[in-house]
Amino acid sequence: MATKNKPSIVFIGSGAIATALGNIMASDEDYLITLLSVEKDVVESINGEHINEKYFPSFRLNPLLRATEDKAILMDAHMVFLAIPSVTIVEYLTTNLSYLNPSAILVNLAKGFGNERDTIPDCLSRLLPNPLATLKGPSFAREIINRLPTAFTLASENEELFELFQELFDNTTIHLDYSTDVRGVEYASILKNIYAIVIGIVDAHFDSPNLRSLVLTKAINEMRALMCRFGGKEETMFNYCGFGDFTLTALNDLSRNRTLGLLIGKGFFTNNISDKVVLEGRIAVNVLCEQLSGQDKACASFPLITELHQVFNQEYDIKNFVNRILSRP
């Protein structure tokens, strides 16, 4: 239960990003920070040894960061961060609706669709009365937990929440910019995974700064156009969630989606690899291309995602990928 006068903040999930952000927030004794986990061993190691043995086995956590398996903690939560895979969020909240404080602010950290075609905030707004926000940016958890400066875009249709988040992250290494374009921020975080795969494939074939920059430019323009087509605002591409998150994901080998592109480009990719790991980029390619399929001239307008869709859905000679994306209009 929350201590009187101390807001309770709960992370649904105890993975890398939940642990890293939770540990940063736990530095402020004005908040009660708890990770809600389904992993008993992780809960025991955090509470007993102040270590998340599964994700950060050599990093000692703030002793004020707690973990629990008890969903009842959601009943008193003032703010709930959604830090589980995007494909599980809607089902999880639907199943556990009776535990959720209806006035708690829900903050989406996941980068992917909530169902076959809708963003997570779109799904949740139909399901729940809670205030909604989304937090997206160039943010490797390993660097967050080591207190390296890290940026996020905080998006909500309710601008009154901005001051609350500014206070929450005050005097930490987390830097925020703000947007009311929730749809644009969500799509930026989805699209960056797709185009990181493209850059990975290109880099697997050519270690060429010239070519990489050429394709990066094409990718940014395609992302911007897609974001606008699906209801986002063009300027969102220049928030931390847009250009910043895309370049982090596309150009760093810690990125799973870039790594997927490298595996595809080198010919090592198999369906078994993708089936064992949640790869948001691959899922999103099929969702978006299905939505674009009924739209006039979509294939010509978005050649990179169209070509990547073919890679995932038909027999494809990957040696031709770069020439094909360069030859498309």
Measure the CA–CA gap between 313 and 241, rounded to whole angstroms: 29
- Nearest Cα neighbor of 115 from 106, 107, 124, 105 is 124
Q: How far apart are CA 196 and CA 284, in angstroms?
A: 12
Q: Any catalytic annotation for residue 71?
A: no
Closest CA to 21 of 152, 133, 189: 152
CB neighbours of residue 209 within 10 Å: 8
Catalytic residue among 192, 276, 297, 319: 192
DSSP 113: B
Whose tokens are 């101390």? That residue is: 6
Question: Quick one: which H or E segment has residue 12?
Answer: strand 8-12
Could you give the CA distance from residue 10 to residue 34 in angstroms, rounded to a whole number? 5
Show which residues are catalytic: 192
